[in-house]
Every structure is written in structure tokens, then in C-alpha cells.
Structure 1
Amino acid sequence: MTITIKTDFTNEEEIKKSRFICHLKRISNEEEARDFIAQVKKENRTANHNCMAYTVGLRQEIQRTSDDGEPSGTAGVPMLEILKKKEITNVCAVVTRYFGGIKLGAGGLIRAYAGAVNHAVEAVGLVQFVEQTELILKLEYGLFDQLQRFIDTQKLTISETEFLADVTVSVFVDEAKIETFLSELTEAFSGKITAQKGQEQTVEIDYIEN
């Protein structure tokens, strides 16, 4: 399962007169991350710091951080830890800091940078990518209404219907749920509906943290 942010997002908060602006962007490779970081730095060239963390890959195989002048380990790594803890990948986080004159100390900086990313992620929300396979169902006309009700109870949607000598219905089912769906379909219709696999697709759905 791949989890990432719903969309690009910016969130700002103030901590002891310092402004912390968290910029989040969905990325697919390191080049996009570097371009985004450069863009944020250009737009915030007068900021004291533009710290960053990003992860790329199905299992966060690529991880990079930068403290951008803050004391070592007080910015980039805490930001990355939020992404790792939430298992978020293919996202770049840049936290811009405009210093307000009050020093936060190492512990305060860690909490501020981690909090900036955490609050931004919570505000924008997460999505997950699910692999689905098309199931092509063939049935007699007399079973069509019953099949529609069955598919509704499965919380699925018919993607295509064709009426010829028989009825052909296409529905996309999560890979992990195909076996159960086919078993329940066979039981509900006493094997009167045939099914074969068609194309595959990846869909984006809301992710709810446990």
C-alpha cells in the first residue's frame, strides 16, 4: 500500500514570534524534489532557514534531509520522522522559518519542525493507491437487477454494461478482495454468473489512519 498527501499544500504557524511555513508537494522522483526545494528557497530568499525532508519509492527507499543552517539534527530529521511514522512517500516537505528573535533551543526546534509537518499533513489529508482488477461478468437478463443490488451491497460501482444475447457487466475490485468477491458471487447466484479477469488499474482513495 502506497500512502501520500492528497494534494500540494502550505500551512503556516507562529511559535514564539518565529514563523514556520510548511510547504508540502507530491513528487515522483528526486529531481522533482530538488526543483521544489529550489523554488521554495527562491520564493523565501529572505527567510532564515528552508529546511527539508522527502521520501521517494513504494517503501520510502529514498530519504533525504537538510537542516539548512539550524543546529544539526533539529530540523530535517524530525521532519523526516513524521513522514516515516505516517508511512508517507513520494512527498517533499520544506519548512521555511522566519526568525522572530526568541531562541527555541534544540528541543524546541525539534518540536517546531516536526509539528509544522505533522500539522500540515493532518490538515491536507492522505490518500492511498489501491491496485484493482476488472472482473467481466456474464449473466442472463433475468439476473441483472439482482446483480446490481449485489454489487451495491459490496460497495462497488459498475463501470460498463453491454446488453447482447446475454448481459456483460464490468466491475473493478481491489486485488485483495477479489477472492472473497468471487466466492460470495458464486454463492449468491449458484454459479449462474461467469467471471473472467480483464485490465488492471490503480485508484486513489482516502486513507484513514488507524
Structure 2
Amino acid sequence: MTSWVLSVFRDRSRFLMLTLYKTMVRSKLEYCCPVWNPDKISDIEAIESIQRHYTRRISGCQNLDYWKRLQNLNLLSLQRRRERYIIIHTWKMMNGLAPNDINMQFKESSRHGIKATVPAFNKKAQCSISTHYENSFGVKAAKLWNLLPKEVNKIQILETFKSSLAKFLKGFPDTPPTKGYTAITNNSLLEWTLQKDLTQE
């Protein structure tokens, strides 16, 4: 689809290129992404490379590295958007707008607002299972949800929640794994939060 867009449309202006990308390319890259969200760096890089190569063709962005292009174009990395979708889907499950098939539990407190219960890990299971456990939707969704501050996780209107979530996400660097780039973390919100906690210590 990317090749088709670039061959049919000769205009490389920012508005047209972003409009075509968001409607015809990115939608395909994100379909049902909370289900298949990858954890391997090589897979994250492979998917991210599509947006990386496309944005390089946009007028005025040719001399910017990928991370700076994201900032210049006001785009989130595909990796960050997948985590965003997981958080939004969790909100929908909590509010009855999506089936809670995994029976995710939520608890509310006056201090932290609404928090999700992270499924317990069976300590008798083989060590190799721990990776699958950490990257399962139930665990990752609960941990991502629990990053949200009280003023965000208690919002009951979807569009208001999305707007507040967008502001919250801007507080984190967005430097996705990219070949040839040296990153501090794997760019997950969970890793950035851990990094922030270590810095404060």
C-alpha cells in the first residue's frame, strides 16, 4: 500500500502525505493490534520501518532522523500507538463498551483512583513461561493501565479520556527501537516509568 501511494501521488506535501498515510497505510498496520502487539525488538523494528521509510519521503523531512521526524510531524511511533490502543481498550472493558473476556478486575481507591489487578504468575510454572506471562494482554494491559494518574483513570467519557491520555503520553520520550539508533530503553511506557523511578532514586 505504501508503494502504491508513493507511485500514484507525486505530491510530497506534508498535509497530503500524512492524510494518505493515516487513512490508507497506518490503519492496516494497527488493525486489532492489542491482540498481536509484538514484544520482540526485531518485530517492533520491522513494523516501525514502514512508517520510518514513508515519513522520509515527506517534503522537509528528508534530512531529519526518524525520532526527530516523529516530533516534527507530531506523530507517535507505531509502538507507542499500540500501547495507547491497549490502554483505550482496557478503558472500554472497564466501562462495558468492550467484552471483558479475560475477566480483568478493577479496584478503586481515593488515593490512586481506579487500578487494574495484575494477574498472578504461577510460580510453579517453568521459567520459560514467564516471558509469555509478561507479554500477555492481561498482564501488559493491567500494568499499562496502572501507570495512569487518578485524574485520567477516573474519566468516564471516552473522548475526554482519549484527550487526557494524549496529554499524559506527551510526558514520555518516544524513541522506538530503530536499526542504527542507540536507545536508552525499549521505548515501552513501562520501561520509561522504570527509568524515571531509577533516576529519581
Normalised to the residue count of structure 2, the TM-score between the two structures is: 0.26
Normalised to the residue count of structure 1, the TM-score between the two structures is: 0.26
Q: Which has the larger radius of gyration?
A: 1
